[in-house]
Amino acid sequence: MTVETRLDDLGGTGRAADPTPPATGLAISLRGVRRSFRTAAEGTIEAVAGIDLTATPGDFLALLGPSGCGKTTLLRILAGLDRPDAGEVLLDGAAPDPGPHTARRLPIAYVFQDAHLLPWRDVLGNVALPLELLGHAAGRCRSEALEAVERVGLADAIRRRPAQLSGGMRMRVSLARALVTRPRLLLLDEPFAALDEISRQGLDEQLRSLWIATGMTVIFVTHSIAEATFLAERAIVLSRRPARVVLEHALDLPLRRDAALRADPRFARETGVLQDALRRGAEAGAAEGAR
């Protein structure tokens, strides 16, 4: 009997028996990041208040927190679509150049809550678009797009247009479009929130498998405690606006996860930890707002 087998028999996570994902992702470091916005209705709004956050190459982080607490703001800062008012942002030890073309200079992909597909293009054409914009040859665009489509299980739908796809299929196309550039950092902003539970769970399982296969760094924003628990290696729970870190928690679950894990007592224990942190974050935010 091997050491790995004994760990499983004793009810451990079995991580020792799992192969380590290749660490090809970007390292992330946020130090003292602050961001405020000025609105006509409310004046100055502090969205993010002194956030410290790190991710090692190949890490999978879930960001949890109340609506409007600054999760999307953090993703936009990491993508170079916004810049902090104060603090430091480092990707692989260097500060990203802010601006709309950061994703071209750095291997970063961003998946939004809506698929944002071009209705006049078929699946293959939508997935190939980022490569076309980068100026790659037509043959390469087609072959790499086809590979990305196959990885998300849509090889039999490459000629369909978005109107002919279900919501889950459209999100698979969006995910394939993000993966086609072989990103080292994948940012996802509640991409499966509008889907039914079965479709959502299936995409969670697929994303987790793709992360294991590629070793990219992933930051996933979600309101779902169960989704964060299933997907991530670490969960970061944020308070109500302005966002502060309430809890940074390493999830003690197996590397390879399937539907059966959701009924495991370990899964229930971990969701309970995150639920408690969310409640504390909401209470702390309410108390600060009352002062």
Question: Residue 110's beta-bridge partner residues?
Answer: 187
Ranges of H-type helices in 117-264? 123-133, 138-151, 167-179, 197-214, 225-231
Task: Give the model's pLDDT for residue 216.
Answer: 94
228 CB neighbour count, 10 Å cutoff: 27
Rounded to whole angstroms, how far apart are CA atoms 209 and 184? 16
Task: Give the model's pLDDT for residue 225.
Answer: 94
Superfamily of segment(s) 59-84+97-107+186-291:
P-loop containing nucleotide triphosphate hydrolases (3.40.50.300)
And the tokens for 82? Answer: 């916004």
Task: Give the model's pLDDT for residue 97.
Answer: 64
Contacts 24+ apart (CB under 8 A), 142-151: 144/180, 145/176, 145/180, 147/180, 148/176, 148/177, 148/179, 148/180, 149/123, 149/124, 149/173, 149/176, 151/176, 151/179, 151/210
Cis amide prior to 242 (ω within 30 degrees)? yes
Of 29, 15, 83, 4, which is closest to residue 219 (Cα–Cα)? 29
C-alpha triplet 285, 289, 291: angle, nearest 5° = 120
Q: pTM, whole model, 2 decimals?
A: 0.86
**Distance separating the N- and C-terminal Cα atoms of the chain:** 60
For 64-94, how does the pLDDT look when each residue is reduced to its tens digit (9 = 90+)?
988 888 888 899 989 888 888 899 999 988 8
Which residues of the chain does CATH 3.40.50.300 include? 59-84+97-107+186-291
Ordered per-residue pLDDT tens for the chain, 291 residues:
333 333 333 334 444 445 555 668 999 999 999 998 887 777 788 888 889 999 999 999 999 988 888 888 899 989 888 888 899 999 988 877 655 544 446 789 999 888 899 999 999 999 999 999 989 999 999 999 999 999 898 999 999 999 999 999 999 999 999 999 999 999 999 999 888 899 899 999 999 999 999 999 999 999 999 999 999 999 999 988 888 899 999 999 999 999 999 999 999 999 999 999 998 877 765 555 544
Single-letter code of the amino acid located at 188: L
Of 217, 165, 220, which is closest to residue 189 (Cα–Cα)? 220
Rounded to whole angstroms, how far apart are CA atoms 109 and 124? 18
Rounded to whole angstroms, how far apart are CA atoms 30 and 102? 17
And the tokens for 287? Answer: 């108390």
Question: Residue 88's beta-bridge partner residues?
Answer: 31
How far CA 169 is from CA of 172, 195, 262, in Å, comes to 5, 10, 23
